[in-house]
Chain A
Amino acid sequence: MTRLTAILLVALSAAGLAGAAWYAANDDVAASQRAELPRIGQPFELTGHTGARVASSAFGDKALFIAFGYTSCPDICPTLLQTMSEVMDQLPAPLAAKVQPVFVTVDPERDTPEVLASYLANFHPRILGLTGSPSEIADVTKSYYVYSGKVASDDAAPGTYMMEHASSLFLVSSDGRLLASFGFGRMSSDEVAKAISKAI
């Protein structure tokens, strides 16, 4: 097999922070306790998969159900989006209405609104794809503790690269509190839906 690796764009999440929040959300979080949950993210304005600019303020009181990924990723990203889709189907309608599922690309150079739209057509229709300029994406990923950087390799194949990224789903309240996070592969969609029902 030809040894092929290329530029790796590495993005790592703050796993400890996410884990702590998951345990917090696993209990019935009283409003007073919620104020003690860690803050994550910050207001953003990005480009939706329809091509329209989207400000996070447009989500109102909805909790953001957010995943980071990129469309050229055939393994983890479809798994995250499939889980997200099943969760949105499983949540009772009044709860689902309080949640905005979002997929933020960490590969804005390739993931244009058109590419995102075609990709997301395979998943739950309420999932909003977000892209932007590299600096806009860098700001958002940084505010969610998802870091990225390029690593070149000697035997890079020109034009191809893979990315690494946070493989968690986050649930964030409209006031920026991390209500829950769900580590990749550790929970079924049923379990995630139950945890979200408790957390919001």
Chain B
Amino acid sequence: MKRFFVLLAVAALSGGAAVASEAVVEQPWARASLTANGVVYLSITNPSGAVERLVGVETPVAAHAMLMTNAGGHRMVDAWEIPAGGRLEAGPAGEGLHIMLMDLRAPLKRGEVFLLTLRFADGDARTVDVRVHGPGAMKPE
């Protein structure tokens, strides 16, 4: 219950962030965690005429949140680019894009919802609800 109020407080704070970017974040979801690390998947569409760059992610549920790719080896990257009029898909398999949560403060349990803030290069931020699905889920159930 205490954790719930912490999440609410963070939601209130992050709700004040600027939201001018046209990027649309769709269906963010996570796998139930089996260890101290977790993963978040989502899609971002960019209806604008300019490239959007996602440059950071933060969440109250983990000490670190990192933009990752499996292209050219499993590694952290500084940004994900969403082409003008295009779409980025981060999901199991596929291009290998995923957000890694390292040092979770508590296990992510199926059915829970937590907050994730995405920061874009133009200074905009977007906070979304992330729903937790099964530990081996290949898509939101």
Report A's interface with B, CB cutoff 8 A. 1-5, 10, 71-76, 78-79, 81-82, 85, 115, 118-119, 122-123, 157, 160, 162-165, 167, 184-186
Contact = CB atoms under 8 A, between A and B. Distances in A.
Nearest to A71: B35
B57 A75 contact: no
B138 A72 contact: no
A5 B64 contact: no
Interface of B: 31, 33-39, 55-58, 64-68, 70, 73-76, 92-94, 96, 98, 100-103, 119, 134-138
B98 A75 contact: yes
A119 B138 contact: no
B74 A74 contact: no
B64 A4 contact: yes
If over half of A's interface residues share one DSSP class (helix, strand or loop), that class is named, otherwise mixed; here it is: loop
A51 to B, nearest CB: 19
Interface SS of chain B: strand
B68 A75 contact: yes
Given A1-B65, A76-B74, A82-B136, A160 B92 contact: no
22 contacts: A1-B55, A1-B56, A1-B67, A4-B66, A10-B73, A71-B35, A72-B36, A72-B37, A74-B31, A74-B34, A74-B39, A76-B70, A76-B96, A78-B34, A119-B34, A119-B35, A122-B34, A162-B74, A163-B74, A164-B74, A164-B75, A186-B93
Nearest to A189: B138
Contacts of A72: 35-37
Nearest to A162: B74
Contacts of B73: 10, 164
Given A1-B65, A74-B38, A81 B136 contact: yes
Contact of B57 (A1, A71, A74): A1
Given A1-B56, A74-B100, A164-B74, A122 B135 contact: yes
A112 B86 CA distance: 44
Contacts of B36: 72
A118 B103 contact: no
B74 A78 contact: no
A86 to B, nearest CB: 9
Given A74-B37, A119-B34, A164-B74, A1 B94 contact: no
A79 B92 contact: yes
Contacts of A115: 35
Contacts of A3: 76
Contacts of A184: 70, 93
Q: Which of A1, A2, A82, A119 has the most CB of B within 10 A?
A: A1
A78 B135 contact: yes
